[in-house]
Amino acid sequence: MAAAPSRRAMSPLAWAGVGIGALLMAAPLLWTLLLSLKANAELMRDSGTAFSAPWTLENYASILQGNMVFRWLLNSIVVSLGTTLGVLALCSLAGYGFARLDFPFRRTLFVFVLLGLAIPEQAVVLPQHRLFADLGLHNSYPGLILPGLAGPFGVFFMTQYFRAIPRDLDEAAMLDGASRFTLFWKVLMPLTIPAQATLGVFTFLGAWNDYWWPLISATTSEMFTLTVGLASAQMNYAQTSGLGFLMAQAVFASIPIFIVYILFQKQIVRAMAGTAVK
């Protein structure tokens, strides 16, 4: 009985700690937003003026006036969506196979797939670059998407999720005359929607923020993704376009990520909570 008041007394402290942590994490975002709303000439004199009026939307208007950001945004959307859909399809099929089917060397192949988690991307970049150069896939959407389809973590994640589904469903569906594909597509796949949403969001964010491979594969500005394009803008135009314009580009680029989080936050929480319970 004496412990209950102690827990209630700690609750405000916990909320205060969470609030302080949230403010610290949001501070860089707020600073970026404020800089994007200031005139570049004013920021050249003193960046501290970002906290005081007047603010302006001229940096965002500059983005809308035929800047390459829209092309880079389109490239990032195509690459991120293509990578996400490919990973979901391949990892779901692989996870179903490893979790529900019996075939020779299943465990050996699964261990072999997991070994991919231990291989850094930089270790295979030279043969990967040579392969895509020989195939003529550089500066193309397939060249930017295909390397991201190799997702050992996604295979492991979906395998564990399929294993957690009772096998009684398989037997019941088979007794009703369902084929393996019908069982996979109509019975099991709907049950994995939370896992699909979680893996899809993580894959989309990883593809959206990827810098290493697009920097190597895309050598023309028309095929730059946002990460590569904004980095080139910071190197080439920081003095001419101004700090405010660069920050406006950064805010503009983060809008799709914010939308993804808003749309799928419930699925992510539900999937993580379900995984923890299991």
Residue 125 lies in a domain: yes
Note whether 57 and 37 are within 8 A (CB).
yes
Q: Backbone phi, then psi, for 112, in 5-degree steps?
A: -60, -40
Instruction: Please tell me the predicted confidence (pLDDT) of residue 242.
Output: 75
How much is the pLDDT for 239? 52
Full 3-state SS string of the chain: CCHHHHHHHHHHHHHHHHHHHHHHHHHHHHHHHHHHCCCHHHHHHCHHHHHCCCCCCHHHHHHHCCCCHHHHHHHHHHHHHHHHHHHHHHHHHHHHHHHHCCCCCHHHHHHHHHHHHHCCHHHHHHHHHHHHHHCCCCCCHHHHHHHHHCCHHHHHHHHHHHHCCCCHHHHHHHHCCCCHHHHHHHHHHHHHHHHHHHHHHHHHHHHHHCCHHHHHHCCCHHHCCHHHHHHHHHHHHCCCCCHHHHHHHHHHHHHHHHHHHHHHHHHHHHHHHHHHHC
Read off the pLDDT of residues 18-34 as tens digits, 9 standing for 90 and up. 888 888 888 888 888 88
Q: Give the structural domain span for 269.
A: 74-230+259-277
Query: 48-52, 83-87, 245-249: which has the highest mean pLDDT?
Result: 83-87
Residue 120, sorted as left (phi over 0), alpha (psi -120 to 50) or beta, turns out to be: beta
Share of the chain above pLDDT 90, in %: 36
CA distance 164 to 100: 10
Q: How many CA atoms lie within 13 A of 80 on its CB side?
A: 26
Give dist(CA 120, CA 182) in Å, integer. Answer: 37
Please tell me which residue, 131 or 16, carries the higher pLDDT value.
131
11 occurs within a structural domain: no
pLDDT at 140 (0 to 100)? 95
As a whole number, mean pLDDT of residues 37-49 equals 78
Asked, for residue 200, whether it belongs to a domain, the answer is yes
Span 57-63, average pLDDT? 82
- Do the domain assignments include residue 199? yes
Give dist(CA 57, CA 68) in Å, integer: 18
The domain total for the chain is 1
Phi/psi of residue 178, nearest 5 degrees:
-75, 140
Residue 4's pLDDT is 47
Q: Is residue 132 situated within a structural domain?
A: yes
Banded model confidence at residue 241, pLDDT cuts 50, 70, 90: low
Whether residue 33 lies inside any domain: the answer is: no
pLDDT average, residue stretch 156-179: 90
Better-scored residue on pLDDT, 112 or 266: 112
CATH number, domain of 185, equals 1.10.3720.10
Q: Across residues 91-120, what is the average pLDDT?
A: 92
**56 or 87, which is more confident:** 87
CB 72 within 8 A of CB 230: yes
Confidence band of 1 (pLDDT split at 50, 70, 90): very low
Cβ partners under 8 Å of residue 51, min gap 6 = 34
Q: What is the pLDDT of residue 143?
A: 95
Q: Does 208 reside within a domain?
A: yes
The CA distance from 249 to 134, in Å, is 35
Of 243, 246, 219, 217, nearest to 233 by C-alpha is 246
179-223 pLDDT per residue, tens: 888 999 999 999 998 888 889 988 998 999 899 999 999 999 899
Contact yes or no for 132/145 (Cβ under 8 A) = no
Q: pTM, whole model, 2 decimals?
A: 0.80
More confident residue, 273 or 125: 125
pLDDT at position 278 is 45
Domain assignment of residue 5, yes or no: no
Lowest model confidence (mean pLDDT) among 26-35, 108-117, 138-147, 148-157 = 26-35
| Res 268 pLDDT > 70 | no
Percent of the residues in the chain that have a pLDDT greater than 70, as a whole number: 88
**Residue of higher predicted confidence among 97 and 52:** 97
Of 20-29, 81-90, 207-216, 253-262, which range is least confident? 253-262
